[in-house]
């Protein structure tokens, strides 16, 4: 939050080992004094094996694989 606006990110990351990975995000932005708020909702899902296969050994060790969209 700032004096002029606020921004909220809500993220749900669900991993079922050897089955699936899901990511749900909602972003909310509002400028104080404005009449509208912007909301963006994103859903991503992929089979666990597909995500694991797309990651390097270093990414797997660090836990930083990216779920494509």
Residue the block writes with tokens 């700032």: 2
Whether the CB-CB separation of 41 and 50 falls below 8 Å is answered with no
> What's the pLDDT score for residue 2?
81
Q: pLDDT tens for residues 8-47?
A: 999 998 988 889 989 999 999 999 999 999 999 999 999 9
Reported as a pLDDT band with limits 50, 70 and 90, residue 58 is confident
Q: pLDDT tens for residues 60-69?
A: 778 777 665 4
Q: How far is CA 10 from CA 26, 39, 45, 54, 65, in A?
A: 5, 11, 17, 26, 20
């Amino acid at each position: 939050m700032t004096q002029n606006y606020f921004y909220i990110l809500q993220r749900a990351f669900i991993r079922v080992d050897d089955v699936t990975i899901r990511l749900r995000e909602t972003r909310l932005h509002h400028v104080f004094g404005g009449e509208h708020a912007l909301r963006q909702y994103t859903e991503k899902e992929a089979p666990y094996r597909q995500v694991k296969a797309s990651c390097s050994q270093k990414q797997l060790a660090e836990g930083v694989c990216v779920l494509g969209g």
